[in-house]
Every structure is written in C-alpha cells, then in structure tokens.
Amino acid sequence: MKEIRLAVATRNAGKIREIRKALEGLPLRLLTCEDFPDWPVPEEEGSTFEENALEKAESLARFSGLPSLADDSGLEVDALDGAPGVSSAYYAGRHGDDAGNVARLLTEMEGIPSEGRGARFVCVLALAGPRGERRLIRETCEGRIAEEPRGEGGFGYDPVFVPRGHSRTMAELTLEEKNALSHRGKALRRLRELLERGEPTWLFSDPS
Ligand code: IMP
C-alpha cells in the first residue's frame, strides 16, 4: 500500500493525538493545521454533526488539495429534545467552557428522574477528497446524565455522563476504558478498518 497524505482538519491537539494513535502503523502521513497555517477554519454553523464535519473536511481538502479528515461531536439529551447537540461546545455561551456547560446541563435536568435522563455522545468523522469525494462515519455511545459531576479524567461532559451498563461516569474511567466504548473511539476504529481494506477507493487512487 503506498503512503497516502491525509490532512487533519482540526486545531485541537487532543483530537490530533487520538487520531494519530488510532491510525498508527497504517501507511499514512498525517498533516495538520500546522502544515496549513493560513487555512481559515470554517465556523460550525450547520444544524447536524454531518454538515459540520463535512464543512471542515471539504474546506481543508479544497485549501490543501489533499484528502482531508474532520470530526464533529457532541452530546444529545433525550429530555432536552437532543440539546445541546451541535451546540455542545458552547452550551453555556463561551466556546469550550466545560465547567459552565456541565453546570447549565445539570440545571436544565433538575428534577428529572433517572429513567428520564437518557443521552448519547455522537461522533461523526468526515473524509473529503479534493475533487468533491466524501465519506461519513457516525458512531454513538449511549448512556445517561448523572445527578452531579464525578471524576477527574476526560473533558467536556464526561463527569456527568454514565455509559450504559456502567455505574462510573466517563470521567472516572481510564483513557483506555473510555476509548473502548466512546463514540470517537468506535468511529476511529471503523475508520481504521475501512482504510485497512483499501477504502474509500478514491483515497487510494489519489495522484497526490
Ligand atoms: P467539537 O466537536 O470540537 O465541536 O466539540 C464538541 C463538544 O462536545 C466538546 O466541546 C464537548 O463539550 C462535547 N464532547 C464531544 N466529545 C466528548 C467526549 O468524549 N466527552 C465529553 N464531552 C464531549
């Protein structure tokens, strides 16, 4: 298999680390935003994770001329009609205010009994080619919202998310345990399996 250059459309160092780890050993050379410092990261204005992930991947593919990979993720809470959803990162106002986001979520969920606290994390990975090719992978992790935050690990809503079949929150799991069941862990494993099979074919026939 010849080495493929793949541009990763995120400035989030944590996501880049996870992606590198998940794709380790494949004949891929991952380029990051540091290789394309002038790339204008698009605003995430779509109403679905798919739209946002595609927007980022397609924008970098056009800019770099290389196949590109992006991820978009968030939390959907049944009792809140799927909120915070695509607004997960800025639910409390400021982008990436994890403590504020968790506090707002717990306020919105006040008084809702445990059987009404179902939720899921969603991760969508988008691969885009410079000639408009696209491939999407969606994975979820089902669970419920805890009454109060517990645990120091992870990030975002991990301290208040209890995966189905577990009693600990995501933030109380080790990183290996989280990756084994998380939305992003599952999506990255599917991406790896896809690439190992030589798919999508347009990625491997790319002349770049
Ligand atoms: P984005 O995909 O960078 O737009 O960020 C999505 C937001 O969803 C993050 O800021 C977190 O609030 C939340 N989120 C996504 N994945 C996870 C996770 O694995 N644990 C906790 N929160 C997450």
71 in catalytic set? no
- pLDDT score at 1: 60
Using alpha carbons, select from 14, 116, 133 the residue that is nearest to residue 69. Answer: 133
Largest CA-CA distance found in the chain, in angstroms, rounded:
58
CB of 49 sitting under 6 A from ligand 1: no
- pLDDT score at 12: 82
Mean pLDDT within 131-157: 96
Say how far apart CA 154 and CA 171 lie, in whole Å.
5
- pLDDT score at 207: 57
- Please say if the pLDDT value at position 115 is more than 60: yes
Say how far apart CA 161 and CA 137 lie, in whole Å.
22
- Please say if the pLDDT value at position 15 is more than 90: no
pLDDT tens column, 158-186: 999 999 999 999 999 998 899 999 999 99
Q: Which atom of ligand 1 is nearest to the CA of 96?
A: 10
CB of 55 sitting under 6 A from ligand 1: no
Say how far apart CA 67 and CA 58 lie, in whole Å.
9
Pocket test for ligand 1, best of 155, 160, 186 (most atoms within 8 A of CB): 155
Kindly indicate the confidence band of residue 21, based on its pLDDT and cuts at 50, 70 and 90: confident
- pLDDT score at 190: 97
- CA-derived radius of gyration, the chain: 18
Query: Domains (ranges, CATH) in the chain?
Result: 4-204 (3.90.950.10)
CB of 84 sitting under 6 A from ligand 1: no
CB of 18 sitting under 6 A from ligand 1: no
Distance linking the first and last C-alpha atoms of the chain: 14
